[in-house]
Amino acid sequence: MTTRQVRRAFKYRFYPTDAQAAELSRTFGCVRKVYNMALQARTEAWTLRQERVGYNATSAMLTAWKKTEELAYLAEVSSVPLQQTLRHLQGAFTNFFQRRAGYPTFKSRKKSRRSAEYTSSAFRFRDGRLTLAKMTEPLAIVWSRALPEGSDPSTVTVSQDSAGRWFVSLLCIDRLAPMPVTDTAVGIDVGLTFLLTLSRPIAGLTDDQGRIRSPKHEQKDRARLTKAQRDLSRKAEGSNNRAKARIKVARAHARIADRRRDFLHKVTTALVRENQTLVIEDLAVQNMLKNHKLARAIAGASWSELRSMLEYKADWYGRELVVVDRWFPSSKLCSACGTLRSTMPLNVREWTCGCGATHDRDVNAALNILAAGLAVTACGDGVGPQRNTPGGQSSMKQETSRPQRPRVAAQPRG
């Protein structure tokens, strides 16, 4: 079985000494300062002189900045993270020019992510001990899992989250073997009460109807989070007590995010392990978040993160992920006879078709999503499952009601 090499980041928590924490904090500040100064220089060059400034020019600016009395402190930290932040800025402009992102924005001392990236010339990794440039002692890392055997990190990223926790991410080459080929396929419908409804039950993962109940981590910790936020609102601006209260709020959010991410990893890994073909529905999550009555529940379900995990895990392990177009009427289509209903309000959870079949809304949608994915796999893009018109005539043809949008997209994601 052929293995595949992928670049994979392994993230660990570590506990710095006071000296290491001070050094890293200075580095974070210098990284932010250099990024903002380079962004300002590039913006002014274009605004005033219609001149495009690239990475090489900003690198030369950095050298000049270090020689000034005002910015001499930039030379006191490792130069590699400063060069890397200029490369990140160049990447941000590239994404902007190619219309993949908006115009780069300045980094905030309070709101931006605190991180620094070190390449191989700025750290030493020997026998499981990682020492960064400008430091004499290795980091006290909690090795929660082993790095790939025989693989040394090419890049190390150190970060501190809003809860005050320190993390180090090591980018390594990992060799992954595809999972054994199976003949199973599953359709996946996402929801709120039940996070996932599958087209077939999976032992140990779903209930008898193929459903996985949403853990609703935010709802379970809402009382803790509400109390922390209320305490924060009562503290005076700029006081030490407010800083402590802010940490408590951040820890409450971190607890929710960590538990949610852990649950999604377990579910997606099990789905990829059990099925050769996975069919999901494309959803416009950002548009759904505009519904203020459901926004909190939709955000807590993390459908986008779930899809992202399925995409890269399917790509890693040789599975096929088929994405059904968001306009496919999975809930309104009878999975037994193919009759399409004209309307299906959200409050209708069960319905009976004219053919006599009684459907659970989510289970029926999962079955239709699977049928659409299998039709695409067999016949190509733009083909939908068999459906009946209200007059009783069945058809298996390409959808033409929205010619500008293919009804089903059938390429592996990731």
Tell me the per-residue pLDDT of 329-387, one tens digit each, with 9 for 90 and over: 888 889 888 888 888 888 888 888 888 888 888 999 999 999 999 887 776 665 555 55
Average pLDDT of the segment spanning 75-99: 96
Please report, as a single letter, which amino acid is at residue 65.
W
**Residues with active-site annotation:** 189, 281, 362
Q: Give 225-282 as a DSSP string.
A: HHHHHHHHHTSPTT-HHHHHHHHHHHHHHHHHHHHHHHHHHHHHHHHHHH-SEEEEE-
pLDDT, residue 401, reads: 33
Q: What does the buried/exposed string (b/e) look like for 167-183 if buried means 16 or more CB atoms within 10 Å of the residue's CB?
A: ebbbbbebebeebeeee
Please write the tens of the pLDDT for every residue from 204-260: 899 999 999 999 999 899 999 999 999 999 999 989 999 999 999 999 999 999 999
Q: Considering the chain, what percentage of its residues have pLDDT values greater than 90?
A: 71
pLDDT, residue 195, reads: 94
Please write the tens of the pLDDT for every residue from 258-289: 999 999 999 999 999 999 999 999 988 989 99
In angstroms, the CA 153 to CA 9 distance is: 9
pLDDT range class, residue 393, cuts 50, 70, 90: very low
pLDDT range class, residue 413, cuts 50, 70, 90: very low
pLDDT, residue 342, reads: 84
- Hey, is 31 helix, strand or coil? helix
Over 80: is that where the pLDDT of 412 sits?
Answer: no
Q: Are 278 and 182 in contact (CB under 8 A)?
A: no
**Average pLDDT score, the chain:** 89
Domain range list for the chain? 4-176, 185-214+258-409
pLDDT, residue 341, reads: 86
pLDDT, residue 352, reads: 87
Q: What are phi and psi of 68, to 5 degrees?
A: -85, 155
In angstroms, the CA 127 to CA 224 distance is: 42
pLDDT, residue 398, reads: 35
**Region for residue 197 given its phi and psi (left: phi exceeds 0; alpha: psi -120 to 50; beta: otherwise):** beta
